């Protein structure tokens, strides 16, 4: 049986599929995060990036019906049902509560059993756009391997 690097020991290597997810995230989120970093620098408006993946065919439509007008929904990989929700003027607490509402509905009402969700609050401009996106990616990958159903991993930068 082929063993995954993460099963062997703590590793900084990623599978080809995971590298493609990182590339997709960078391409899809770069301009949005860059603009919001600019706004953070000028107005001190924090934001939270929520990354969510679920085995639910109507996830995109469900999020559209749940999010605020100021939240930016960006598909990362539609085939995988992987999406980012960038919540403007939102701390990690607000992002966590929003993500918790989404997960609760998906698990309880929609009976979805494979859900991964992470939230990264950005409250400083000292990080590069690339580093913010890759931190969200790293948190997401770790959550895929180490989180329980309905658990949200979160981090502040």
Tens of pLDDT, residues 131-146: 999 999 999 999 988 8
CATH label of the domain that carries residue 62: 3.30.70.270
What is the value of pTM for the model shown?
0.87
Complete edge-to-edge strand list for the sheet that includes strand 71-77: 71-77, 82-88, 47-54, 115-122, 152-156
Domain membership of residue 20 (yes or no) is yes
Q: Is the pLDDT of residue 8 over 50?
A: no
Domain membership of residue 8 (yes or no) is no
Average pLDDT over all residues of the chain: 88
Alpha helices in the chain (DSSP H): 5-8, 16-43, 59-64, 92-108, 129-146
Domain membership of residue 24 (yes or no) is yes
CA-wise closest residue to 154 among 102, 110, 100, 112: 100
Provide the pLDDT for residue 144: 86
Q: Given the structure tokens 């590339």, which residue do they identify?
A: 23
Tell me: the pLDDT tens digits for 48-63?
999 999 998 899 999 9
Domain count, the chain: 1
Provide the pLDDT for residue 139: 93
Give CA–CA dist 63/102, Å, rounded. 8
Domain membership of residue 62 (yes or no) is yes
Domain membership of residue 7 (yes or no) is no
């Amino acid at each position: 049986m082929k063993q995954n690097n993460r099963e062997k020991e703590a590793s900084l290597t990623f599978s080809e599929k995971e590298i493609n997810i990182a590339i997709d995230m960078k391409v899809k989120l770069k301009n949005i995060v860059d603009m919001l970093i600019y706004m953070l620098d000028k107005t001190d408006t924090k934001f939270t990036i929520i990354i969510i993946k679920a085995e639910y065919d109507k996830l995109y439509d469900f999020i559209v019906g749940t999010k605020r007008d100021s939240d930016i929904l960006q598909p990362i990989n539609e085939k995988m049902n992987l999406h980012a929700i960038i919540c403007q003027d939102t701390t990690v607490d607000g992002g966590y509560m929003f993500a918790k509402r989404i997960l609760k509905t998906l698990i309880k009402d929609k009976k979805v059993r494979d859900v991964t969700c992470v939230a990264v609050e950005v409250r400083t401009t000292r990080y590069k756009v690339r580093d913010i996106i890759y931190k969200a990616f790293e948190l997401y990958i770790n959550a895929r391997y180490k989180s329980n159903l309905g658990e949200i991993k979160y981090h502040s930068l």
